[in-house]
Chain A
Amino acid sequence: MRPFAYERATTAEDAVARHAAGDGGGNGRGGTAYLAGGTNLVDLMRLGVAQPARLVDVRRLPLDRIELDTDGGLVIGAAVTNSDLAADRTVREGHPVLAEAVVAGASGQIRNLATVGGNLLQRTRCPYFQDAAKPCNKRNPGSGCPAREGEHHNLAVIGHSAACVATHPSDMAVALAALGASVRIRNAEGERTVSLDDFYRLPGGEPECDTVLEPGELITAVEVPPLGMPSRYRKVRERASFAFALVSVAAALDVDRGAGGGGAAGGEAGGGTIRDVRLALGGVAHRPWRARRAEDVLRGAPATRESFLRAAEAEMEAAEPLRDNGYKVPLARNLIVRTLTELGEGS
């Protein structure tokens, strides 16, 4: 890998100031990059995909706490490790979908290194992005996207562009998307907060930008609103563990079982009316995919398999599968129905 200078920041302000003192730019050739757990950045540097000239280490910043709001929401420090997040009792009890998503990702030893901030910023595992000897618009803008006509069986089916068909690899971010989380960001001017929906971008004509982060901006925390309903994370992969998702679903479902029997006529899934629902998909798009169309179909609908199927189909109508990943459309549909059914049954 390319030689780089290494500095360790002491506070978030210090980190941002150190970054600003460098050459700017991201973790492409030259420039400064933030280093946290390193589980993806070091990997990409060794591949020659990331070539920063300078690393500012933010792993030991005092951003390693998980705080509970008075209303039941969470503020998760960016330097909290995946392991600590998944092991946290408050998270496991109040936001189980988040803990489930985190332990569905990577391996025990990677989760010990990886941090919340780094997890959000990990890059796609598209094989062409990871091979510095091949074209890739995300790595080398304007060079082309060989994945579109190449090996893409595990790439995007929805929201992709002519320039890029990458998927976002994070499990955690899918749960956070479903939970309506926001990202707290530090920059030279101060702090700003961006909802996860706005944080991640679709590729469009600028696939090199995964997020709306400006150069030098640092994630300091993730804010998660209270949940208050059953939730679940389901992940499908090509082996039983330690693999990226083909498709994953993060879901939360609040069913009013006493509300006039709504769809109880169907008698399925315990009946009741859906008061609230959160749904996000992983493995299908350039970003964690919040399934708002499905949510809209479901709110106020009877909690039946038919509703779940209708919602899933409404969401996947926008899918434009590539030559070899059409299977992800029924897979996502089935997984949505399955997960919501299980939540509806309280199983």
Chain B
Amino acid sequence: MTVLDRVEGREKVTGTARYAFEYPVDGVAYAAAVQADVARGEVTAVDVLSARELPGVLAVLSCVDAPRLEPVPDGELALFQSARVSYRGQFVAAVAAETLETAREAARLVRVEYAPESADVVLRADHPGLYKPEKVNPAFPTDTEQGDPEGAFAASAVRVDATYRTPAEHNNPMEPHTTVARWNDDGSLTLWDSNQGATPVGETIAKVFGLGADQVHVVSPHVGGGFGSKGTPRPNAVLAAMLARAARRPVKFAVPRQQMFATTGYRTPTIQRIRLGADEDGRLNAIVHDVVEQTSTVREFAEQAATPTRVMYQAPNRRTSHRLVRLDVPTPSWMRAPGETPGMFALETAMDELAVAAGVDPVELRIRNEPDREPESGLPFSSRNLVACLREGADRFGWAGRDPAPGVRRTGRLLTGTGVAASTYPAYLRPSRATARAEPDGTYTVRLAAADIGTGARTALTLIAAEALKADAADVRVEIGASDLPGAPVAGGSGGTASWGTAVVRACEALAGRLNGGAVPPGGVEASADTTEEVKGREDYARHAFGAQFAEVAVDVDTGEVRVARMLGVFAAGRIVNAKTARSQFVGGMTMGLGMALMEESSMDERFGDFVNRDLAQYHVPVCADVRDVQADWIEESDPHLNPMGTKGIGEIGIVGAAAAIANAVHHATGVRVRELPITPARLLPRL
């Protein structure tokens, strides 16, 4: 197994790795933004006089006087194009100034007047505005149905019918969404930007400003996390570029943490009703998963929360559905494993409830319902090792002999329990380009516009290239994170390394063919690849990674505090390219799942229409002390139907199922079934 230290490790521990805000750009000015104070209505007046008069202010823009932009599908990028306020916190004005302090003070001095309208901001299962979207993210059918799910459920010997709720959650990468924008003399635009894909960001921003794709240069070699929220350009990129044009100076803008909660995406809250009907042995006869979620009035985002239910378990009668309501809220978006994360919390908690109801061990219950083909599509799995993960995990966790009785293990004032849940995530592959170059000094340079947002992509691609070139990894340099490099897809859907790696392998193969064992000429040799055709030509398989997560919790009976004593995840995700960085991906996902289970919740105040706990003291993410013993391991898979590396993607599956494993452990510890996350003392203590 390969174990390579992160190749940019030294830069990151010495502080020399540059993130977007940190590029030295001559004459750069600072931006600050003004957010709407109403959740819905019209801006009737913007008084920028005192802001403009502040010494050091260079430009002020607002939704009543900003230059026109080209329309793009993502309405969140139509910055200052309308006096309409679609949600509280929407950017309505912005300032550029000589210093950050001046910019922020000037923004505070901008006076905006509104004609407010009553706003509708709370998701309800019986909301009259619920509708059926045409598809769910990214392009899945909205509803599916086979057999007679209602009838089969009603006729089942053992039934679970429960509703699960997950709150709005915010990605909260440590690096805020940031852009430094500079208009160049040739009319092109350079953006030092914090994103998950320089190519798509460049293409989109080019459209916004009516430029050719090659006129926008996006530079993003190091990105301080994204977790989906930097997968598409955000208003910060447009704002910096607009202000830079207005101020005739380069402008930089990092979205303040508090402003991120409205302007950089979040996971929709969900209300999910699950019905499981099984025979007395727990064999499923019916699965129904109905999801209710929100989107905004700005653009539709339909989280695919029920899609994992189409993949997981056999059952002849089944239905999934998604319903949305457009609320006067910020647009929800991708957050680590959108769809699978909330969906599998619901499904895997329901499976635990079924295990209890049927008196079947929860590991065994899942094994008993293992399908031999993808249940809804009927396609063969390219590989599926959920059962192996469950068995290996159970073995290593010490599951055997577990007393299923809830609420009976007490040590002092602590109740302890264990839980299990399954994980799944699709293995995507998207077209990418790459070049590989042999240098006369015996080294190689691989170039593509991939992104390393902390995933270890740069390190994995180095290993992939070295293997394809039969070279030492130390002789391979991988250049990524810029839109001027060969075009590459976003770091998203856990498909980055698979998609980029395929292009890298093909480019390296082409290079090896061109070299044909001969010497490298003084000018070097270069070869390129484009995997568009290869990706189109794939055979039909159901391609998914799977995993099993185990958790042990201790619940304080006096306080309702839940602490996770240990977690183990065992995953089957194809071939693991680099054990070292892969483990961090799995553990990182599981840790975010721990946060989802126990503390993460963005609280909407319906009178104001905004998330009130919008900072890192009030929106709790796990701290070091929350993570005691979180371990991840994997089963090596050899799957020829994926891509030349045999990889499935590892960035998201770690969060999938993690919250259910913890919630199931809380039930085992206490006998209390919490169907609404997070499991805080406020929710748990009154029920203990």
Note whether A and B form a binding pair.
Answer: yes
Binding site for B on A (CB under 8 A): 1-3, 46-48, 125, 127-128, 130-131, 133-134, 146, 149-151, 153, 236-244, 246, 324-327, 330-331, 334-335, 337-338
| Beta-carbon contact of A48 and B108 below 8 Å | yes
> In the complex the two chains form, is A150's CB within 8 Å of B101's CB?
no
Closest chain-A Cβ to B47's Cβ sits at a distance in Å of 16
* Stretch from B232-240, B517-525, B614-622, B663-671 contacting the other chain: B614-622
Residues of A within 8 A of B563 (CB): 240
Set of chain B residues within 8 Å of A1, measured between Cβ atoms = 101, 104-105
A9 to B9, CA, bound (A): 45
A239 and B626 contacting across the interface, CB-CB below 8 Å? yes
Q: How far is the CB of B620 from chain A (nearest CB, A)?
A: 5
Cβ contacts under 8 Å, B360 to chain A: none
**A9 smallest CB distance to B (angstroms):** 24
> Which of the residues A151, A242, A335 comes within 8 Å of B613, measured between beta carbons?
A151
Contact A127–B620 (Cβ < 8 Å) = no
A331 B560 Cβ-Cβ under 8 A: yes
Question: What residues on B are CB-neighbors of A334 within 8 Å?
Answer: 557-559
Least distance between A248 CB and chain B CB atoms (Å): 11
Q: Are B607 and A146 in contact (CB under 8 A)?
A: yes
Pairwise interchain contact B620-A239, C-beta atoms closer than 8 A: yes
Chain A residues, Cβ within 8 Å of B560: 327, 331
Rank and list the top 3 A-B pairs by shortest CB-CB distance, nearest first. A240-B625, A334-B558, A241-B625
Q: Is the CB of B599 within 8 A of A238?
A: yes
Range class of the B interface residue count: 35 or more
Instruction: List residues of chain A with CB within 8 A of the CB of B105.
Output: 1-3
Q: Which of A46, A133, A331 contacts B559 (CB 8 A)?
A: A331
The CA-CA distance from A244 to B624 in the complex, in Å, is 16
Asked if A242 meets B623 with Cβ closer than 8 Å, knowing A125-B617, A125-B618, the reply is yes
Q: Does B12 sit at the interface, judged by CB under 8 A? A: no
Q: Pick the contact of A325 from B108, B558, B682 — CB < 8 Å?
A: B682
List residues 566-625 of chain B with CB under 8 A from any CB of chain A.
598-599, 603, 605, 607-608, 612-613, 615, 617-618, 620, 622-625
Decide: A327 near B686, CB < 8 A? Known: A146-B607, A240-B625, A241-B623. Answer: yes
Name 14 interchain pairs, CB-CB below 8 A, sorted by A.
A3-B101, A3-B105, A127-B618, A146-B608, A236-B559, A236-B561, A237-B561, A238-B681, A240-B625, A243-B617, A327-B682, A331-B560, A331-B681, A334-B558
Q: How far is the CB of A319 from chain B (nearest CB, A)?
A: 14
The answer to whether B559 and A244 touch across the interface, beta carbons within 8 angstroms, is no
Residues on the A chain within 8 Å of B258, using CB:
47
Q: Which residues of chain B are near A46, meaning CB under 8 Å?
A: 104
The answer to whether residues A150 and B612 also contact, given A2-B105, A239-B620, A239-B623 and a CB cut-off of 8 A, is yes
Q: Could you tell me the dominant secondary structure of chain A's interface residues?
A: loop
Q: Does B685 contact A (CB under 8 A)?
A: yes
Residues of B within 8 A of A149 (CB): 607
Interface presence of B144 (CB below 8 A): no
Q: How far does the Cβ of B627 sit from chain A's closest Cβ, in whole Å?
A: 9
CB distance from B671 to the nearest CB of A (A): 18
Count chain B CB atoms within 10 A of each CB in A46, A47, A327 and give the residue with the most. A327
- Could you tell me the distance in whole angstroms from the C-beta of B110 to the nearest C-beta in chain A? 12
**Any A CB within 8 A of the CB of B396:** no
A246 with B625: CB separation less than 8 A? no
Q: Which of A3, A128, A134, A238 is within 8 Å of B620, CB to CB?
A: A238
Q: Closest CB-CB distance, B630 to chain A, in whole Å?
A: 13
Residue B37 lies at the interface, judged by CB distance under 8 Å to chain A = yes
- Output the nearest chain A residue to B627 by Cβ-Cβ distance: A240
B413 interfacial contact with A, CB 8 Å: yes
For A237, list chain B residues within 8 Å (CB). Answer: 561
Shortest Cβ distance from residue A44 to the other chain B in the assembled complex, whole angstroms:
12
Question: Are A133 and B37 in contact (CB-based, < 8 A)?
Answer: yes
Distance of A1 Cα from B103 Cα, bound (Å) = 9
Name the residue on B nearest A333 (C-beta).
Answer: B558
Task: Say whether B443 faces chain A, with CB atoms less than 8 Å apart.
Answer: no
Q: A150 with B605: in contact, given A239-B626, A338-B413 (CB under 8 Å)?
A: yes
The residue on A at minimum CB distance from B685 is A327
Nearest CB of chain B from residue A100's CB, rounded to whole Å: 16
B680 in the interface, Cβ–Cβ < 8 Å? Answer: yes
User: Which A residues lie within 8 Å of B625 (CB)?
Assistant: 239-242
With both beta carbons as reference points, the residue of chain B lying nearest to A149 in the complex is identified as B607
- Docked CA distance A2–B105 (Å): 6
Residue of chain B at shortest CB distance from A338: B558
Q: How far is the CA of A338 from the CA of B414 in the complex (A)?
A: 12
**B598 surroundings in chain A (CB, below 8 A):** 238-239
Which single member of B101, B603, B617, B623 contacts A244 (CB below 8 Å)? Answer: B617
Cβ-defined contact, B681 with A327, below 8 A:
yes
B101, A236: Cβ atoms closer than 8 Å: no
Residues of B within 8 A of A238 (CB): 598-599, 620, 680-681
B43 to chain A, nearest CB (A): 15
Which chain A positions have C-beta within 8 A of B624?
Answer: 241
For B681, the chain A residues whose CB sits under 8 A away are: 236, 238, 246, 327, 331
Choose from B603, B608, B617, B623 the contact partner of A134 (Cβ within 8 Å). Answer: B608
What distance in Å separates the Cβ of A134 from its nearest Cβ neighbour in chain B? 7
Taking each of B557, B559, B560, B613, which has the highest tally of chain A beta carbons within 10 Å of its own beta carbon?
A: B559
